[in-house]
A and B are shown apart, each in its own frame.
Chain A
């Protein structure tokens, strides 16, 4: 008994150690890093990974009881609907809710009410595209009233967010990212602002020979 006790506890120790390393490797979440790699690199700084600050959630449409904001000691939490159950059959995307809400509505797959009580009332849709030329090299922005007025009323945007006049509003990307202008909804409920969605707004390509204006520092460069 005494003789075996040592190897046994050593084994347990080793198992625990391996598990601990596996846990920390999983936590580091290095792209493609398997448990084996984690073991080998265990004594190297975890700072040298990719995408350090923006880790992607692994399970995007988690049910309420696994989502980290609902209290699992609350019985009713388990009565709430898991998103994936509701999204069954809806067109998918790879951002936001991972659902293409515009397509889902256009194809009649969902029929959200326009009126609280009357399910037959039709929305007041206006089909008017506003093109906003962009000084930078990215494609110009096309703002489509149609998709917006399917969901929203004119007074949701006019005049509090946008003056209803083409070009009358100062809009830039920093304001949008900070939650103003288009960013009031995009980045909150409507599709978010990330690399995969740039071209949803920036959808009108520039002429093939278009080049961004040179900065003053380049034009006046004394070492040219």
Chain B
């Protein structure tokens, strides 16, 4: 009899334990990265490195957009520049600054390669990603009707 009760309690605890685990895993950390953070992961994962994370907010305090997007030739496209370490040590892209002169140099691998493994290339907080449904497409422009009576 006593044994029976204890077994029932044990079952209940197990069930609750499972429920709790489910509840907690559902609570898995939501992504709330800073607006404008870019995860770049064209090649990193495949090479066994963490993806690179580029923080716009941090850099725009120190440089205007023009420095990177006009002078250094970064295209306006996450992952679109196909950055590699070979280009970086030749002084291109991140390497134009992360060379020990303008900013700390390239041996600090983990400062850039700090993303969660497996995170795809993406732009954090973009309006497009926040849309619930694809944007409304307007009807083809017809000749406009005036509302003058």
Q: Which residues of A contact B (CB under 8 A)?
A: 2, 5-6, 9, 12-13, 16-17, 19-20, 23-24, 26-27, 53-54, 57-62, 64, 66-71, 74-77, 79-81, 83, 86, 96-97, 99, 101, 110, 112-117, 123, 135, 150-153, 155-156, 172-174, 177-179, 183-189, 192-194, 211-216, 219
Q: How far is the CA of A97 from the CA of B5 in the complex (A)?
A: 57
B48 on the A face (CB < 8 A)? no
B interface residues, tally (CB under 8 Å) = 72
Q: Are A151 and B137 in contact (CB under 8 A)?
A: no
Q: A12-B13, A114-B66, A153-B66 are in contact. Are A67 and B145 (CB under 8 A)?
A: no
| Shortest CB distance A126–B (Å) | 13
- Collect the chain B residues with CB atoms within 8 Å of residue A86's CB: 57-58, 61
B85 on the A face (CB < 8 A)? no
Q: How far is the CA of A186 from the CA of B35 in the complex (A)?
A: 11
| For the complex of A and B, 7 pairs with smallest distance between CB atoms | A187-B127, A76-B110, A68-B31, A153-B70, A177-B135, A57-B32, A67-B33
| Shortest CB distance A135–B (Å) | 8
Q: Are B33 and A68 in contact (CB under 8 A)?
A: yes
Checking A9, A79, A152, A174 against B70 with a beta-carbon cut-off of 8 angstroms, the contacting residue is: A152
Q: Mark B35-55, 1 if CB is under 8 A from A, else 0.
A: 111010000000000100101
Q: Mark B79-105, 1 if CB is under 8 A from A, else 0.
A: 000000000000000001100001000
Checking B27, B70, B113, B125 against A155 with a beta-carbon cut-off of 8 angstroms, the contacting residue is: B70
- Collect the chain B residues with CB atoms within 8 Å of residue A113's CB: 62-64, 67
Q: Can you name 22 A-B residue pairings with CB atoms under 8 Å?
A: A9-B9, A20-B23, A26-B27, A69-B31, A69-B116, A70-B116, A76-B114, A83-B34, A113-B63, A115-B67, A116-B63, A116-B72, A116-B96, A151-B65, A152-B70, A173-B135, A174-B135, A178-B128, A186-B127, A188-B126, A214-B145, A216-B145
Q: Are B31 and A67 in contact (CB under 8 A)?
A: yes
- Collect the chain B residues with CB atoms within 8 Å of residue A192's CB: 35, 125-127, 130
- Collect the chain B residues with CB atoms within 8 Å of residue A69's CB: 31, 33, 37, 39, 53, 115-116, 119, 124
Q: How far is the CA of A55 from the CA of B121 in the complex (A)?
A: 23
13 extra interface residue pairs, beta carbon distance < 8 Å, beyond A99-B57, A183-B128: A27-B26, A74-B110, A81-B58, A97-B35, A115-B71, A153-B66, A153-B69, A174-B135, A179-B128, A184-B76, A189-B36, A192-B127, A213-B144
